[in-house]
Amino acid sequence: MVLLLALSARAELPDGCVAKAADLPASSYHTAEDPRWAKDDIIVVLKEKRRVMLFDAGELVTLPDGTPACWQAGLGSGYPAGHKQRMGDMKTPEGWYATSDRPWSMFYGAITVHYPGVADAKRGVKQGLITSDQAAEIESAHAKGTLPPMETRLGGKILLHGGGGSTDWTLGCVALDDANIDALRAELPKSMRTQVLILP
């Protein structure tokens, strides 16, 4: 059973963590009224703060050992800021994405982020990065809840994975310490199917 973090005089959150979805930084990607916050198991990545958090019904989860579900993360080497635009730009995408397990990854504990999304596909067509047929494939995959094509010029294969979260070293993925990706996975469905909100 998931425990929720109770705010009290005793409960101190690590720097960069927030106790409620309503306290997340303002962004065009979400509002406090978004119905997705009513669901269980929403992963949030705060890129600037290098934090990964897990929310349940809009509240930060407390893990079985009593610690908040908030962990340090590493991003792309050199940290190129901004939303992912194309393959090889080393950026981590921003916005809402579905997730699923990636048991065949070379990276420890990998969870796939279903990037590119529908909005990315529309942008890609507008910018001449992908064809309308490729955009239709991406949109169809999202409608079916399957992995979108990840070999287009928009890039893909974005993961949450282990290997260390203390420095920026990935190619655009979100990396945590192995023990922390284990703790995150332990709170998610076996399929790792949920939603992730990645904020600037």
Q: Is residue 78 part of a domain?
A: yes
Q: Is residue 187 part of a domain?
A: yes
Q: Is residue 76 part of a domain?
A: yes
Q: What is the pTM of this model?
A: 0.92
Residues 188, 149: contact at Cβ < 8 Å?
no
Alpha carbons 37 and 171: distance in angstroms, whole number: 29
pLDDT in tens, the chain (200 residues): 444 444 443 357 889 999 999 999 999 999 988 999 999 999 999 999 999 999 999 999 999 999 999 999 999 999 999 999 999 999 999 999 999 999 999 999 999 999 999 999 999 999 999 999 999 999 999 999 999 999 999 999 999 999 999 999 999 999 999 999 999 999 999 999 999 999 99
How many domains in the chain?
Answer: 1
Which residues touch 63 (CB under 8 Å, ≥6 apart)?
Answer: 3, 69, 183, 187
Q: Is residue 180 part of a domain?
A: yes
Q: Is residue 30 part of a domain?
A: no
Residues 42, 2: contact at Cβ < 8 Å?
no
Can you give the CATH number for the domain in which 99 is found? 2.40.440.10
Range of the domain at 54: 3-7+15-23+37-115+155-199
CA distances from 66 to 17, 39, 88 (A): 15, 22, 39
Q: Is residue 94 part of a domain?
A: yes
